[in-house]
Amino acid sequence: MALLNILKYPDERLHTVAKPVTEIDDRIKTLVADMFETMYASHGIGLAATQVDVHERVVVMDLTEDHSEPRVFINPVITHKDGETTYEEGCLSVPGIYDIVTRAERVTVEALNENGEKFTLEADGLLAICIQHELDHLMGRVFVEYLSNLKQNRIKTKLKKRAKHDL
């Protein structure tokens, strides 16, 4: 397994729309394992392949503190949304930035697991929010794009300054 480099906003590659996975082979299984290792090492709860510059429809997540419920979504599609909720979101691609985003309260998602088996999951709460957040990445969208232009520009400026300082 290997730690992968997480792209940082406003990197243009984060706006790439991911392509469907055509075959779940050893390469995809290695990608999944590396994404989990990267997500856990970064103290995240979700990671989309887009964030590690692999533009295929793969998402991993685990909302537990003890890493006991790893979930894999390959070629995920939200088939139903219901209700509305707000949540303060953060993102491994937008480190140190948190803001309130409005999303559906409940979702139904269809996907394949790492063995190529199709499943349907009905989710609410944090799991529903995380699914929507990560699937946005697969569509080339970052959570800060739900915010006002003023907030987006402030975040870009802050992250660019931080990147220069880190060099």
pLDDT tens digits for range 99-132: 999 999 999 999 999 999 999 999 999 999 999 9
Give the model confidence (pLDDT) of 63-98 as tens digits.
Answer: 999 999 999 999 999 999 999 999 999 999 999 999
Residue 4 lies in a domain: no
The reply, when asked if residue 137 is annotated as ligand binding, is: yes
Is residue 7 included in any domain, yes or no? no
Complete edge-to-edge strand list for the sheet that includes strand 58-61: 46-48, 58-61, 71-82, 106-112, 118-124
Q: Is the entire prediction scored with pTM above 0.85?
A: yes
- Selecting among 56, 89, 114, 134, the annotated active-site residue is 134
Domain membership of residue 83 as a residue range: 12-166
Q: Alpha carbon 125 to chain centroid distance?
A: 16
Examine residue 3 and state whether it is found in any structural domain, yes or no. Answer: no
Residue 29 lies inside a defined structural domain of this protein? yes
Q: Is 134 a catalytic residue?
A: yes
